[in-house]
Amino acid sequence: MSKGVTVWFTGLSGSGKSTITRILEKTLRQRGERVEILDGDVVRTNLSKGLSFSKEDRDLNIKRVGFVCQLLTRHNVIVIAAVISPYKQSRESNRSLIGNFIEVYTKCSVEACAKRDPKGLYKKAQSGEIQHFTGVSDPYEEPENPDVICETENETPEESAQKIVLKLEEFGYIDKQ
């Protein structure tokens, strides 16, 4: 059984956070681990419903997600947070708060994300229909020392998920298989 840990995904919209999360969740569940997911899109329809994309509201959103991660992590759940979390300071605050924390950077250029555009948001951001869009009209601060980098332009989602599983094993959060 696992020790609690928060697997914190950060990366641009369309960089692969939700896709890799789903695979990671499945793999961990198959290994008998307790897993919970806090996906940005879902969080913004309940826990953070009504918040905007200003820096202040983004920070508040990340603080709320971090708070829930902390509660679950201390009850030995593997919590996967898949949120853009563009600001380094917010991510670092959560790392300090939670302690058992792995930062995963889904690295993908804005150009490639815009080409994928799974939700049609880049098109809207580029035309100005959506404002404060990360990577287009809002900042994204890259992590300097992420625990795992998923190069989603060069590896499959399965390979990325596997890297994270190995890191969880390496750090002793889950048993090796």
The residues of the shown chain that bind ligand ADP, judged by CB under 6 A, are: 11, 13-20, 82, 106, 116, 118, 152, 155-157, 160
- Closest CB to ligand ADP among 13 and 100? 13
- Closest CB to ligand ADP among 4 and 62? 62
**Binding partner at 160 among ligand ADP, Mg ion, none, C-beta below 5 to 8 Å by kind:** ligand ADP
**Binding partner at 16 among Mg ion, ligand ADP, none, C-beta below 5 to 8 Å by kind:** ligand ADP
Judge whether 109 counts as a catalytic residue. Answer: no
3-state per-residue secondary structure call for the chain: CCCCEEEEEECCCCCCHHHHHHHHHHHHHHCCCCEEEEEHHHHCCCCCCCCCCCHHHHHHHHHHHHHHHHHHHCCCCEEEEECCCCCHHHHHHHHHHHCCEEEEEEECCHHHHHHHCCCCHHHHHHHCCCCCCECCCECCCCCCCCCEEEECCCCCHHHHHHHHHHHHHHCCCCCCC
- Closest CB to Mg ion among 17 and 58? 17
Site map for Mg ion, 13-52, x if CB under 5 A?
Answer: ----xx----------------------------------
